[in-house]
Amino acid sequence: MTGLDGLNPSPGALVVGMVQARIPVIARPADLQAQADRLADLLRRAKRGMPTLDLVVFPEYSLNGLDPQTFLDDTLLVDRDGPEVTTLLTACAEAGVWGCFSLMERNPGGAPWNSGVVVDDTGTVQLYYRKLHPWVPMEPWQPGDLGIPVCDGPAGSKLALIICHDGMLPEVAREAAYRGANVILRTAGYTHPIAQSWRITNQSNAFHNLAYTVSVCMAGPDPNGVWSQGAAMVCDVDGTVLVEGDATPDRLVTAEVVPSRADDARRGWGVENNVYQLGHRGYVAVEGGARDNPYTWVADLAAGSYRVPWEDEVVHVDGTRAGWPAPEQVRARAQPGGSAAPAPTGPSGG
């Protein structure tokens, strides 16, 4: 049952709307508030047009834009308690709907954070996340330091947010599931060359973790004429694609998910209950399953000694070949008055 993508919600359904937001042009500080007002209007209109909506998800970069030339301009960043974010929180309260928003956030200690918030229908932030894995070498963001938070959401959901390239690393979605998330949101700015990887990782993240995945990219051309793909998508717990969007800017793609189905699968599945079975290997032969760690990379990562066999042959180990300065200069540029070295002009958003 899909309830006609949320028009007729099933019992226990969470109805989600994914906005394939048009890439904004952000050239001056006033543009940020104008874009916040626009996103707030899109959220209100989505809820008016489809009153069954419980959660409206906006993609990465939908507030700050997707022009690398502006990424480290301190005047074109936002603060968590700034007026732009307040506008979005207020819209959730006024519309009576949950929202998920992206922000490129000032970081007094270094390069900006690529952050996201999940906001409830009273305008209260329930989840705050910093992107763990910036899309290197194209993005200059400070890597996140908060792990993968999970919050209670509508209809018995437990929500996690991962951002764009995070979803290409299976360990990120697994961490979200391990912490209890049964609905994993993924916001992105990906362009069309990533379409196949986007689709299969959304599906695999769902199946590997018996979780719903709810994913959406920006849509339309960036200032360099490179199009983001839109490609809103919801996957069932077995990886089946329930709903899939297109490349239409500002299109609202809707779907329903039933969080209790994910919970039931995690409790009741035998074959392919992979989240549980990872830590209970071979429980048919070993009571309770083997619980040792057979994975070298897990032990090495925990010990701070992660090193691949081809470590010394890796070509890209900073952003210089993609046009960014050395890391210490990236951090310096992110501060007020930082130098204005050229930024990459190629496809961005990950």
Cα separation, 168 vs 25, in Å, equals 27
Catalytic residue among 84, 92, 131, 217: 131
Cα separation, 208 vs 184, in Å, equals 12
Active-site residue flag, 60? yes
Neighbouring residues of 340: CB distance < 8 A, sequence distance ≥ 6? 73, 333
Catalytic residue among 47, 60, 84, 217: 60
Active-site residue flag, 105? no
Which tokens go with 185? 């949101």
Catalytic residue among 164, 175, 217, 256: 164
Residue showing tokens 């209260």: 124
CB neighbours (10 Å) of residue 36?
24
Tell me whether residue 78 is exposed, middle or buried, using C-beta atoms within 10 angstroms of its C-beta: 0 to 12, 13 to 18, 19 or more: buried
Active-site residue flag, 47? no
Q: Quote the strand ranges of 71-202, DSSP E.
A: 98-105, 113-119, 125-130, 150-152, 158-163, 183-188
Which residues belong to the active site?
A: 60, 131, 164
